[in-house]
Amino acid sequence: MYKNKFLSYILLLLVLFSALTPMTVTHAAPLDNVLNTLAASTVSGQDNTSHGTGLLEKLFGFVFDKLLGPILNVFNNKSTTNTTHPVVITPLPSTTTKPITIQNNGVLKGKIIVVDPGHGGSNPGAVANNTRESDNNLAVSLKLRDKLVQAGATVIMTRDTDRTVAPEGSSLGAELQARIDLAETNHADMFISIHSNENPDTSIAGAMTFYPNGKSSALASEVENAVVTETGAVNKGTSPATFYVLRNNSVPSTLVEMGFVSNGEEAALLNSDSYRTKIAQGILNGIVKYFNNN
């Protein structure tokens, strides 16, 4: 999910320029390519080290939410898996039912928490080193669900199988909005989105957590610190972000990037059942600490 946001802005400006300039039929195919590239970058993620604000940010959000989302269809049964080098998929492990011990176990009783495994179905997300982001996201989310339920919370999963949330063939905006709607309509106390990261530099590894601009930073900090403590992962910190499921969400929300599938060592860990359990436990610990302090 690690993409260059600056490039996205450049592509956005090209799209706007093209929209304001008379076009002939010969320009249609290149513009299509630009639009698809921009959409793909937005679906998989944005720059995880620098996030713009102000007029350009609002313009980006408007064009994506109101124009590109309804027009583009990225969930059209076209897999982004590399067919030249097929990926060997590890079956999802069964979820744990062992008792858990957390501080102030009763703090989650009565809480409604939406757990959102990112991607799924025709959009596997980042794919590298024989692992798919959508599989990692789902496996950890299922473990987190079980731990939250054992702690007394009511858990709503945006998906609990390898599928999209909106019907296949829906627009990008509809797919992401369907995840938010589950939190809004169920009056959730928290929204947690689980993702895996990627970077062209395969040496980069670590966990990082995002929050919407101006809110939920405490939640992100608690989750990030707890995941790092539990797993020993490199702490890449927290940052505000403009991901759709964060900026359009009215409930406390955070997006966790568990690790980089582009890093061979971390990809192997993300494929490991024991490491997935540690991540889920870390996220749970962070959630508990957040509710204890708020």
290: which 2 tokens? Answer: 């957040």
Which pLDDT does position 13 carry in this prediction?
60
Which pLDDT does position 287 carry in this prediction?
97
Residues 59 and 195 in one domain: no
244 domain residue, yes or no: yes
Which pLDDT does position 172 carry in this prediction?
87
Mean pLDDT in order along the chain per 10 residues (294 residues): 48 53 38 36 37 49 51 36 37 41 73 97 94 97 97 96 93 94 96 97 97 94 97 97 96 97 97 98 97 92
Tokens 């996220």, residue?
283
Residues 25 and 136 in one domain: no
Query: How many domains does the structure of the chain reveal?
Result: 2
Listed residues 71, 96, 129: the one ending a domain = 71
Residues 287 and 183 in one domain: yes
Beta strands 131-132 and 207-212 are unpaired
Residues 173 and 225 in one domain: yes
Which pLDDT does position 63 carry in this prediction?
54
Listed residue (193, 174, 168, 178) closest to 114, CA to CA:
193
79 domain residue, yes or no: no
85 domain residue, yes or no: no
Residues 138 and 259 in one domain: yes
Rounded Cα–Cα distance for residues 125 and 195 (Å):
9
Which pLDDT does position 10 carry in this prediction?
58
Residues 156 and 64 in one domain: no
Strand order in the sheet with 190-197: 154-157, 112-117, 190-197, 253-260, 207-212, 235-241
Residues 55 and 123 in one domain: no
- For residues 144 and 115, the answer to whether their CB atoms sit within 8 Å is yes
Rounded Cα–Cα distance for residues 88 and 131 (Å):
7
204: which 2 tokens? Answer: 């980069």
Which pLDDT does position 62 carry in this prediction?
55
Rounded Cα–Cα distance for residues 259 and 136 (Å):
10
Which pLDDT does position 294 carry in this prediction?
86
Range of the domain at 127: 105-293
Under DSSP, is residue 120 helix (H, G, I), strand (E, B) or coil?
strand
